[in-house]
């Protein structure tokens, strides 16, 4: 009985010592975490001062995604013998100059994807990759500062496709107005005097240029291992709502190791002139169709893959 009691007391003592040691370790860990947080706060404050200094700031990040596959006598699917694959990438780059009296911000977004499905049982089937996603957009914004947050500005923005039908159509916005920069990461552009030039060699579709208002909102930021960018570009035509358009693109990246991580991109767009052009290019389309009668469906894309930050 005495031996059992002594053993019980001994076990309680061990548990008590372990519990005390665990609590001490947790307390030490909490103190270290507080120290790390304080140090990171000072580092972030210094980085904010560096970012606010005049001069050029340049950077880029993007997403690469792809897959390949091959099937032979896989009868459960419609094409049992095939080779397929897809590959694509997105690049977001910027070069910004900040001075006491003015700023000059430049950005580019490229999103290209190729896909193929080679049916081995169809001799007429193509075994080549073909274009799937084709997005190219560049803009340049100059502003003369009236204060730290407001500026008189002028901007040019151009977008088209690269892989096929370059500049056919192409959209170029040139305008003047004001820019608001409440933080170093957020830019809001409002240009009530903007001309939207539309370039096209299409003899069937009469693409129309017009005067209107341009609104652009861009937010780009990196927080530790996370980098993201969202950009909304809108044009409201004064001539007709049928000539208006908007595009919203988003890029997210999470760094897992050094500069490599996971990236996700998606975009939305509505453009009635583009929808009209696509409708008229389809077999059996009615050439007498009018722009105002087009079903302007929401355009979208997304891509998930490896991310690389520069």
Domain boundaries, the chain: 1-53, 55-309
73 pLDDT tier (thresholds 50, 70, 90): confident
pTM tops 0.85, yes or no? no
Could you report the per-residue pLDDT of 269-289, keeping only the tens digit for each? 999 988 888 877 777 666 556
Cα dihedral 91→229→194→173 (10° resolution): 10
Residue spans of beta strands (DSSP E) within 72-121: 82-98, 102-119
Separation between Cα atoms, residue 300 and residue 297, nearest integer Å? 10
**CATH topology for the 55-309 domain:** Outer membrane phospholipase (ompla); Chain C (2.40.230)
The more confident residue out of 75 and 122 is 122
What lies within 8 Å, CB to CB, of 270 at 6+ separation is 245, 246, 296, 298, 299
Lowest mean pLDDT among 89-93, 105-109, 234-238: 89-93
Checking if the pLDDT of 35 tops 90, the result is: no
Lowest mean pLDDT among 24-28, 61-65, 103-107, 261-265: 24-28
Separation between Cα atoms, residue 177 and residue 143, nearest integer Å? 9
The pLDDT of residue 302: 85
Could you report the per-residue pLDDT of 36-46, keeping only the tens digit for each? 666 766 666 67
Sign of the C-alpha dihedral computed for residues 27, 33, 37 and 40 taken in this order: positive
The pLDDT of residue 246: 95
The pLDDT of residue 292: 75
């Amino acid at each position: 009985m005495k031996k059992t009691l002594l053993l019980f007391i001994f076990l309680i003592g061990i548990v008590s010592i372990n519990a005390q040691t665990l609590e001490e370790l947790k307390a030490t860990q909490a103190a270290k975490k507080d120290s790390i947080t304080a140090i990171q706060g000072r580092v972030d404050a210094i980085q904010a001062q560096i970012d606010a200094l005049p001069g050029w700031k340049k950077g880029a990040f993007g997403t690469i995604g792809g897959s390949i596959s091959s099937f032979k006598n896989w009868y459960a699917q419609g094409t049992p013998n095939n080779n397929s694959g897809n590959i694509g990438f997105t690049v977001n780059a910027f070069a910004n100059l900040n001075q006491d009296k003015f700023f000059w911000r430049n950005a580019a977004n490229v999103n290209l994807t190729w896909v193929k499905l080679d049916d081995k049982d169809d001799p007429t089937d193509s075994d080549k990759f073909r274009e799937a996603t084709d997005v190219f957009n560049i803009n340049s914004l100059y502003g003369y500062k009236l204060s730290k947050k407001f500026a008189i500005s002028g901007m040019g923005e151009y977008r088209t496709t690269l892989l096929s039908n370059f500049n056919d159509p192409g959209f170029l916005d040139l305008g003047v107005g004001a820019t608001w920069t409440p933080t170093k990461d957020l830019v809001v552009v409002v240009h009530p005097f903007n001309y939207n030039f539309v370039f096209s060699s299409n003899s069937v579709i009469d693409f129309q240029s017009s005067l209107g208002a341009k609104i652009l909102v861009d937010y780009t930021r990196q927080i530790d291992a996370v980098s993201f960018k969202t950009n909304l570009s809108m044009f409201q035509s004064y001539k007709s709502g049928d000539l208006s358009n908007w595009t919203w693109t988003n890029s997210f990246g999470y760094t897992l190791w050094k500069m490599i991580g996971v990236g996700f991109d998606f975009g939305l767009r509505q453009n009635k002139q583009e929808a009209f052009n696509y409708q008229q290019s389809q077999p059996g389309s009615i050439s007498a169709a009018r722009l105002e009668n087009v079903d302007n469906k929401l355009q979208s894309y997304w891509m998930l893959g490896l991310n690389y930050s520069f």
